[in-house]
Amino acid sequence: MTNTGELRIGVFVPVGAQLLDISPIDLFAMLSPQYLTACTLPAPLVMLGTPSMIHYIALPDTGSHVELTASAFLKVSKTIEDPEVQPGLLDILLIPGPDPASTFREEILDFVRAHAAWRGEDGECVGILCICTGIYMLGQSGILTGKSASGPRALIPDLKKKFPTVKWVADKRWVTDGNIWTSGGITNGQEMVAAYIREKLPGPAAEAVLEMAGVGDKGIDYTRSKSGDTLWWLWQIIKAVVVSNKASKKKVV
């Protein structure tokens, strides 16, 4: 991938998704010369910008919009049948997280498989960027078999049970294995996309965008251990029980 042509990106939302999971797509949009110009950045930075064409992809029977969290609705611009989003015509397929209990239709899984498997004559491939619970779609598709991957930390035990052929990594915010990038919960997707931009589109324009967005500084390692993470959650639950009991007593009085 170079920074001289248009970046072609598909955001795959066949059954809805977490609103925050979709937000990293804006980092690619911020790389465009138009955005950099609107931010009144100097011409040398603007010249290094990368334009993008972003498609929001769903199923033919989805309708014109998909529902996200926070009562938001996303307009569908393409379906999996449209020629513009077929394997070989996208540089990136971004998969935000849906309900983790979702069971995906075969046509959804086939779309993911086809993009993950596509290779150009020069070895070019599609970057599969998976955020949070989007990992369940990848797991069901089978494209993670034998690969290293990450997911929401609290769900790693469940992922291990459902997809035992995957090498699950619980201590990283994101994991890269070939053309597949997977991340932990929600805003770790922003950090993953920041790392992807730095690797694939390195340079002053990329750094300027990440600085403006305030992302890309967390690092790949979690600052808290898995056991520390568990203790944090237990403490919050204990506090919640105490607060709830106090509230109940007040109501009785």
Residue-wise DSSP of 199-229: HHS-SHHHHHHHHHHT-S-S-SB-SS-HHHH
Q: Is the pLDDT of residue 131 over 80?
A: yes
Q: Are 72 and 20 in contact (CB under 8 A)?
A: no
Task: For residues 96 and 76, give the distance between their C-alpha atoms in angstroms, rounded to a whole number.
Answer: 14
Number of H helices and E strands in the chain, helices first, is 10, 11
1 pLDDT exceeds 50? no
For the cut 80, the answer to whether the pLDDT of residue 230 exceeds it is no
- Output the pLDDT for position 235: 80
| Percent of the chain at pLDDT exceeding 90 | 83
Q: CA separation (Å) from 79 to 14, 119, 171, 212?
A: 9, 22, 36, 32
Q: Which of 9-18, 176-185, 198-207, 214-223 has the lowest mean pLDDT?
A: 214-223
Q: Give the model's pLDDT for residue 249.
A: 65
Q: What is the pLDDT, as a whole number, of residue 138?
A: 98
pTM for the predicted model, two decimal places: 0.90
Across the chain, the runs of DSSP E, i.e. the strands, are: 7-12, 52-58, 65-67, 73-75, 78-79, 92-95, 127-130, 148-149, 167-168, 174-177, 180-183
Is residue 208 within 8 Å of residue 45, measured between CB atoms? yes
- Which pLDDT score is estimated for 2? 39
Quote the pLDDT of residue 89.
Answer: 97
d(CA 38, CA 159): 43
Mean pLDDT of the chain: 93
Is the distance from CB of 197 to CB of 210 less than 8 angstroms? Answer: yes
pLDDT attached to residue 227: 76
- Give the lowest-confidence range in 125-134, 195-204, 233-242: 233-242
